[in-house]
Each structure stands twice: as C-alpha cells, then as structure tokens.
Amino acid sequence: MASKIFRFIYYLGNLLSISKIQIQFITIYKVLFVKFYSGYKANYFSNRNIENFRTFYPLFIIGGNRITVGKNFSSFRRNRIEVFGSILNINYNGKLVIGDNFSMNDDCHIACINNIIIGNNVLFASKIFVTDHFHGQMNKESFLKPPALRSLHSKGEVKIGDNVWVGEGVVILPGISIGENCVIGANSVVTKSFPKNSIIGGNPAKLIRSI
C-alpha cells in the first residue's frame, strides 16, 4: 500500500513538473515579484518615479541620493551601484548619471567617488566593473598601510558615450572616456580613452579597428 502511495506521489510530481499550470504559475509569480521589487528600489535614487524602471533581485545600492537614472532602466541579478559619500572619515562629492535605455546583465559593479556618466542606449553584459577610483595611490605613503586602510583616490571621472556595448567581463578604470558607438570586447581592461566608433579589445585594451 505504501509503495503505491509513494509511486502516486512520484508520478504526480513528475506530471506537475512538466505541466503548463506550474509553468504559468511560476511565470506569473516572477513577473509580479519583479514589478514589486522594481517599485521598491526605484525610490532609492535621487530622481523618483522613473519611467519604466525594472530590476531583478537583488540590486545593491549605496548613495542613491547621488545617483540619477534615466527612463527604461533594466538591471538583472546581483548588481551593485555605489556612490560613496564618506569612507575612512574622508568625504566625497561624487555623482553617477545613467542615461535612458540602459541595461546591464548579472553581476555588474559600478563604484564612484568622483563622477561617472553613462550615456543613452548603453548595454552592459555580465561581470563588468566600472570605477573612477583606487584604494590609495602608488606611492610609499600608501604602501605603508594595509590596502583596506588606504584612502580612496580618483584619477578622474569616467564617461561612457551613447550607444556603447560593453562585453562580458570588461573592466573600465578611472579617468577614461569612451566615445559614442563603441564596442568593447569581452574581458578587456580599459586603461585609456578611445574615440567614437571604435572597436576595442584586449588587456590592456587596444583599438582593433574604427567604423
């Protein structure tokens, strides 16, 4: 008797796992949760009531009052957007501006103490790091301290122009300007600026060709 019950439960689970009912339920649940979570997180930024703001869980935000986001913002999972106001008793006045139609995939990190400006129609793949600062300067005074205790230092703001596509695993370092209509290849480390209409790749990134 017990074996028949177990067999029935097994086949019921098997049936539900492929049923359209379960698929529809999960889909509806995900859509509703994304709507709820997006509405909750949209109020973290300096400009509230953002048109067509969408984010998946989780989205980590520091210094939202220093961040401006355009319409049609889309963020996938485990992304971090940080504008630090004070670290190690040093105050910063950084600002992050993200234009319209911005989309980033999973595990991206934007860190700011100076200024980071991202244009319209910019697409980030996954595992991208954009920063305008380092932990300390490359000098003896900084090296006498543990890395975590070195004051943050910016070599300049970061600008990413309109219509830029940033590939998987890219790192964009401080003081960099990327012109409009650029493509940055996967796993590139961008250490210098590039003009518009550039295809960039490598570590350190180099100009592959211009369009």
Structure tokens at 186: 């996967």
Whether the CB-CB separation of 35 and 55 falls below 8 Å is answered with no
Catalytic residue among 109, 133, 135, 153: 135
Whether the CB-CB separation of 75 and 95 falls below 8 Å is answered with no
Distance of CA 211 to the CA centre of its chain: 27
Based on the residue annotation, tell me whether 135 is a catalytic residue of this protein. Answer: yes
Q: Which residues are catalytic?
A: 135
